[in-house]
Structure formats: structure tokens, C-alpha cells
């Protein structure tokens, strides 16, 4: 059974699926969004929320349930600040073990896991406007090199697991598109430099809008 706090939204990675031939078999990358680890919007240094109360990670039983329903992909959102409480530093071992435990279990069952910092391209944003504040914005307040460092560490941990998908960010918004392009390219370069050939999902500016790639 899934925890009552976990909201589940059906997601189908249509673009990736369409890139494959219809003769390839069942629709690939079909699955659910397992929310929970991104809960708790008002994070501040030293106050990252209480695990099991303000946020949680999905369980192995949830993975088994949806795999049993024929699904093969999970999007796993989490908060950047909990995994890396200070920029350019090693991951918090307890927090990483929570993420890693689910990733390893689900992928051992043949599923794909899209790991995704659910941060709207911000790090420790203004708690009163955490989705679109200028505080903590990647590319200005937070240098691209710090975003690249974060993804380099994830890439080093998962470069040997091709079933881990790197979803760079949830819904970047309210910035020049060129700024987000530069941040994305820095992260992608760091991932590839780490030797990871995992699939990378690159969101557009304006709440993951693909159409915004051609705007300023």
C-alpha cells in the first residue's frame, strides 16, 4: 500500500516513447510520479524538515505495486537542499541513503527511475515565494558551477546504472531562457565528464515549457 501522504500522478514520457518504433513492443517509459521527498516548501539552512513527518520517500512496496500493474518508470522528486545542505559539498549520507535505497530497489526490478531536484531552479529560495523568487536562483544567486557540481556528484553515483534517468530540474521559471540554457549545459557537461551516459531530460524555462527555448 502507498502512504496516504504520497500523491500519485500518472505520467507517460510521450516524447521518448514516440521516438521508438511501434514494433519495439509495449509503450516504454510508462509509469507514475512518486511524490513525497519534495514536500516541505519552507526549507532554510538548519531547518530541512523532519523525515517521516514533513516529507518521506516512496517504499519498495509501492514500486512492487506499480511494477505489478505493468509500469516501468518512476519519477522521484526530492529537494536539492536536503541532499546537499551546502553548495559544492558531499551529499548528506543519511539523506542520500534514502534516495539511493529506492533507486537501487526499483532499478533492480527492471524499472527506470527519473531522479529530479524539485527546486524550480532555486536553492534555498525565499520561503514566501519558493517557486519563483530571485533568491537562490540558479545562474545568478547560485553559480552554474554549483549546479554542475551537484549533478556531477549524482552522475558519479549512478553512471553504472543505465536505468537511472537524470531529470535536471522541475519547472525552472522566471528567468531569461539563455540563463537556463547555460545552467543546463553546465550540468550536462559535468554529467558527461563524470563518464555517465545516462538519459538526460532537459526542461525548458517557463515551467518546463519546450516552446520557451526560442524566447529570451
Q: How far apart are CA 78 and CA 216, in angstroms?
A: 29
- Specify the pLDDT at position 3: 39
Q: Mean pLDDT throughout 96-101?
A: 98
State pLDDT tens for residues 134-165: 999 999 999 999 999 999 999 999 999 999 99
pLDDT of the residue at 2 = 39
| pLDDT of res. 70 | 93
pLDDT of the residue at 24 = 53
What mean pLDDT comes out for the span 98-125?
Answer: 97
How does the average pLDDT of the chain come out, rounded? 89
| Cell representation of residue 48 | 530541512
Residue with more model confidence, 22 or 189? 189
Confidence (pLDDT) at 25: 65
Helix (H) or strand (E) holding 177: helix 177-193
Q: DSSP 3-state assignment of 162? A: coil
More confident residue, 124 or 42: 124
Residue 119 is classified by DSSP as: S
**Angle, CA 182 vertex, CA 180 and CA 183 arms, to 5°:** 65
Query: Residue 76 above 70 pLDDT?
Result: yes
CATH of 8-214 given 3.20.20.80, 3.40.630.10, 3.30.2090.10, 3.90.1150.10: 3.20.20.80
For a pLDDT cut of 70, what percent of the chain falls above it? 88
Task: Write down the domain spans for the chain.
Answer: 8-214
CA dist 52 and 102 (Å) reads: 15
Q: Is the dihedral of CA 84, 86, 87, 89 positive or negative?
A: negative
Q: Please choose, from the candidates 116, 118, 34, the residue with its C-alpha nearest in 3D space to the C-alpha of residue 71.
A: 34
Residue-wise pLDDT for 15-50, tens only, equals 344 444 445 567 889 999 999 999 988 899 999 999
pTM, two decimal places: 0.87
d(CA 16, CA 14): 5
- Do 74 and 109 form a contact (C-beta atoms < 8 A)? no
Amino acid at each position: 500500500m502507498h502512504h496516504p501522504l504520497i500523491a500519485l500522478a500518472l505520467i507517460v514520457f510521450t516524447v521518448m516513447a514516440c521516438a521508438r518504433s511501434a514494433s519495439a513492443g509495449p509503450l516504454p517509459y510508462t509509469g507514475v510520479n512518486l511524490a513525497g521527498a519534495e514536500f516541505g516548501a519552507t526549507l532554510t539552512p538548519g531547518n530541512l524538515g523532519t523525515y517521516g513527518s514533513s516529507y518521506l520517500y516512496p517504499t519498495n512496496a509501492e514500486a512492487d505495486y506499480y511494477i505489478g500493474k505493468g509500469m516501468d518508470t518512476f519519477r522521484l522528486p526530492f529537494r536539492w537542499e536536503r541532499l546537499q545542505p551546502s553548495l559544492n559539498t558531499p551529499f548528506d549520507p543519511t539523506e542520500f541513503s534514502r534516495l539511493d535505497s529506492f533507486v537501487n530497489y526499483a532499478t533492480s526490478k527492471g524499472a527506470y527511475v527519473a531522479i529530479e531536484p524539485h527546486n524550480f531552479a532555486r536553492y534555498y529560495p525565499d520561503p514566501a515565494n519558493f517557486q519563483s523568487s530571485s533568491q537562490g536562483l540558479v545562474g545568478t544567486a547560485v553559480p552554474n558551477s554549483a549546479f554542475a557540481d551537484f549533478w556531477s556528484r549524482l552522475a558519479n553515483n549512478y553512471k553504472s546504472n543505465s536505468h537511472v534517468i537524470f531529470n535536471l530540474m522541475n519547472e525552472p521559471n522566471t528567468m531569461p531562457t539563455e540563463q537556463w540554457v547555460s545552467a543546463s549545459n553546465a550540468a550536462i557537461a559535468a554529467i558527461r565528464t563524470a563518464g555517465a551516459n545516462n538519459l538526460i531530460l532537459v526542461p525548458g524555462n517557463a515551467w518546463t515549457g519546450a516552446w520557451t527555448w526560442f524566447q529570451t
